Structure 1
Amino acid sequence: MEIKDLSINEDILNLFNYTLNDDAKATVKSLLLKPLETKEKILYRQQVIKGFLENISLFETYSYSRIDFRQVYIFLQSFDDEEFLEKGLKLKLHFSKQKHSDYRSRCVQLIMLFHRLHNHYIKRIVTAPFPEEYKNDIRLIDDFLNSFKLDYYENLIRSNKFGVKHIIQIINLISVKKRKKEITAFQDAYTLFEAYISIAKGIRQHKFVFPEITGKQVALTQFYHPLLANPVKNSFEANNNVILITGPNMSGKSTLLKAISICIYLGNIGFAVPAQGAKIPKYDNISVFINLNDDLQSGYSHFMTEIINLKKVVELSGTDKPHYAVFDELFRGTNIDDALEISKTTLKGLLNFKNSLFFVSSHLHQLTEMEEIQDGSIATYYLDCNLKESTPAFTYELKPGWSDIKIGRILFEKEGLNELLQHKHTLS
């Protein structure tokens, strides 16, 4: 996967991060960055998240003390029999105020936290919408919390009757669970549980929709870039495997390609997407090259980096596995004659990989004269731009075909550079 230009880790993560602790946030990040191998796994994750969305009213007020949560987790993770089940523990708890206070506060903190999580959320969750496999995770969490007899101990704590024997009972129970590795299993399951709550909250907050996972068809209705405050929404359907996007500078080509690619990527990891409706195939590889710079560390020039990236995509596409790739302003790192010639070769060649989908944006208007474009083998789209009193007004609307507006020349002339450059200065 080549997705760094989509800023998944830096920006898209924030759309789904409603977590209350670092472990859950790291899990959301892991789910966002880890590709899924099969369509079945995509649909499974969709169903899990939909299960949380069905229960979303339950989690609207989901909260707990972050300090208590972290301290309880550290206590369970670092629990050791030699430290907590030492010889003569009962006597030490009776005669050492410091040890009694320490052990009691740890147990009370655990009971009160678990009681809140269990009674407010886990016991009330409706499991019917979840896939059977994930229901097992919910049962694991429920069984673990149930085993602590939370209502019984919580009542003792509130009535100030939680004594030494109860502390020892809790310590012994934790010891057993530690040896059986139940604590690790619970913490892993609950961290994932909270990550899914967070993702569901993000999807509801931003009104994303789950795509239909199709065979080859890509169709996006009213899709948009989710990081824009007031995005222009477009609709698009791919009936060709090679699509050329044209349009002047500042018309929004890069943003459009990012918006489409974010939908494709999120759909392929089982997340909902920023659109009103979507049909998206399962792709084995996704490569997005938009913010391309010279690779100085590897010693590659801008143009050589483009060549290497294209070669990787072609080799992957040659395996007959479906590939999605985006090349923004392909071959802008070389002169216009070379760029035109090899762009034509590239566009023609990409037609051979029918299972894949390629987006290529370009300033080279001459490409529209290609036979493959004229006969419709390669689809062309452009972002519209109107002229108002010789001033470009960008609509950011995607339309089939291509634009003949030459923004560079218009702006050049509007700023009076023709006159300035022709003016003769005399030396004083």
Structure 2
Amino acid sequence: MSFGENCCNVLITFHGILIADAMSFKMDAQSYRDLNVFTDGSGSDPIVQLFRWTKTIGGKEMIRDMMGKPSSDIDFLNRRKEAIQYFYDKKIVLEVKAEQLDLIEHYLKFNKAHSRNNILDALVYFIQKRSGSDYYTISSGLLHLIRLLKYLSGFTEILLTEDAPEHLKAIGQRIGQVLELDQLKVARGWNRKRLRFYQLSRLDHACRGKLKSEIKALLLLVYELDAFETISNTARTKGLSFPVYSGANEVKVSLTGLFHPSIDQAVKNNLALEKGENITFLTGSNMAGKSSLLKSLSLAIYLSHLGFPVPATQMETTIFNGLLSTINLPDNLNQGLSHYYSEVKRVKEAVSTLLEQERMFIIFDELFRGTNVKDAFDASLLIISELSHVHNSIFFISTHIVELADELRRFENISFKYMDTFFKEGKPVFTYQLKEGVSQERLGMYIIEQEGIIEIIRQVSKKTIGLSLS
């Protein structure tokens, strides 16, 4: 049974649960790995773990499913965001337990024949089975179901208040429809800790029979509510905020206080990307924080296209049609490809997407690092120069080749930013602050000197000379 379809035919809710339509958001496996959404192979906690404190297994699975389906549907995103934000603002608590839902799920999956619907057969079944595990599975599952029904009958009042967002009202109405089904309405009035044999038989006959799909749909709604509460709690504990979506056609992103939620005491940065400057050329020394900034930015774009809160104090964004990143590009040894050739293929994948999709958000970290400096310079200059003519997407490109800036200044839509580093008392200070301009700091030789590599080589040289003379 399906409920709720808006007038524009772009959003469908099935059993009250938001389902994105064909307006999907393009994001490939490489981008998911770059952001460490589910795993990046490093062993560090993935982003999905930020939302792990659900009360139910179904709620956890619901969040994971949501995170695999970003959307470019502004109506869909606003509806989900508003639902989560309502939980956040009202500090709503869903008082359910994993054990309760697990027992109900186990009961519904119980593959023995359901009880008979007449008193005589019910009595025979009760006499035969009352001491067995089958009877316990049925009775405990139904008792927990009745408790859940009673609780939800009160909880739906929160979802149906006048100021509640439309999606929560739709969930409340759908739950109400299930609660008013005859057998379930009667069961809600029972106050016994144990069911009489004929009550159990009739209710089991209905719940594992004609009402089974309705009860499963009800559980999905509970899991969705659990997901909303969990996401709102993460927003509170991690200092996330709710994005504002722009319906304008021109590309634009404005971020205040951007940070990475997995970094303790992360430095926050402000960033504004607009159509007039839709390409950002990012420089900075080693360890200055370029990759972390790119991951933070990518994560904000990604989470905003889930309808989730984002790691920033404020965010306003155009609705993009996809996010492609190249931050941790692996060597493709199985196919015998060099790192440089893997980079070239990745750039081809990204620009080919532009033939199919407008309003893409594309990130290249250390473009063409896998080749010599001369080829890297020429290739980067060529690619960035050509991308400067594409105005309906945003590009964020980092590099160590600061000399490119002199060649790129002739393009009005390229902005130059760098991660600030300076020396104090002979030692580098990393501020992790994003600033306007091009980095002038060079840390490569400093790091080599600090590691004592030259001294080790000289010691090896002396040892070799000594051995040759002996």
Normalised TM-score (structure 1): 0.89
Equivalent residues of 1:50, 1:129 under 8 A apart: no
Residue 268 of structure 1 aligns with which residue? 305
Structure 1 stretch displaced more, 415-424 or 96-105: 415-424
Equivalent residues of 1:51, 1:127 under 8 A apart: no
| 1:242 aligns to 2:279 (yes or no) | yes
| 1:13 aligns to 2:48 (yes or no) | yes
| 1:170 aligns to 2:206 (yes or no) | no
Q: CA deviation at 1:380?
A: 1.1
Change in Cα spacing, 1:300 to 1:21, as seen in structure 2 (3 Å) is: farther
The one of 365, 370, 377 equivalent to 1:328 is: 365
Give 3-state SS (helix, strand or coil) of 2:397's partner.
Answer: strand
Residues 318-375 of structure 1: CA deviation (Å, up to 9, x unaligned): 34611111111110011111000000001101112101111111011211211x3256
Structure 1 stretch displaced more, 316-325 or 215-224: 316-325
- Distance, in Å, in 2 between the alignment partners of 1:201 and 1:193 is 12
The one of 50, 62, 79 equivalent to 1:27 is: 62
How large is the RMSD of aligned CA atoms in angstroms?
A: 2.5
- Distance, in Å, in 1 between the alignment partners of 2:168 and 2:93 is 18
The 5-angstrom pairing of residues 67-216 of structure 1 reads: 67-78=99-110, 82-85=113-116, 88-96=120-128, 97-98=130-131, 102=136, 103-119=138-154, 121-147=155-181, 148-149=184-185, 150-153=187-190, 155-157=191-193, 162-175=195-208, 177-178=210-211, 181-214=213-246, 215=248, 216=251
Q: CA deviation at 1:414?
A: 4.7
The 5-angstrom pairing of residues 207-356 of structure 1 reads: 207-214=239-246, 215=248, 216-239=251-274, 240-319=277-356, 321-356=358-393
Residues 71-107 of structure 1: CA deviation (Å, up to 9, x unaligned): 2112124466x44228853221453332695344443
Equivalent residues of 1:320, 1:353 under 8 A apart: no
Higher helix share: 1
| 1:387 aligns to 2:423 (yes or no) | yes
Equivalent residues of 1:51, 1:129 under 8 A apart: no
Equivalent residues of 2:114, 2:209 under 8 A apart: no
Normalised TM-score (structure 2): 0.81
Equivalent residues of 2:36, 2:47 under 8 A apart: yes
Give 3-state SS (helix, strand or coil) of 2:334's partner.
Answer: coil
- Distance, in Å, in 1 between the alignment partners of 2:399 and 2:233 is 38
Equivalent residues of 1:17, 1:202 under 8 A apart: no
Give 3-state SS (helix, strand or coil) of 1:156's partner.
Answer: coil
- Distance, in Å, in 1 between the alignment partners of 2:140 and 2:411 is 77
Q: CA deviation at 1:27?
A: 1.1
Change in Cα spacing, 1:339 to 1:43, as seen in structure 2 (3 Å) is: same
Q: CA deviation at 1:284?
A: 0.8
- Distance, in Å, in 2 between the alignment partners of 1:52 and 1:129 is 12
Work out the percentage of aligned pairs sharing the same amino acid: 28
Equivalent residues of 1:246, 1:383 under 8 A apart: yes
Q: Which amino acid aligns with 1:363?
A: H
Q: CA deviation at 1:296?
A: 2.1
Please, which runs of 5 or more residues in structure 1 have no aligned partner?
A: none
Q: Which amino acid aligns with 2:439?
A: S
Q: CA deviation at 1:137?
A: 2.3
Q: CA deviation at 1:183?
A: 2.5
Residue 36 of structure 1 aligns with which residue? 71
Structure 1 stretch displaced more, 31-40 or 413-422: 413-422
Residues 368-417 of structure 1: CA deviation (Å, up to 9, x unaligned): 211x3256432111111111222111110100101111101223345565
Please, which runs of 5 or more residues in structure 2 have no aligned partner?
A: 1-26, 40-45
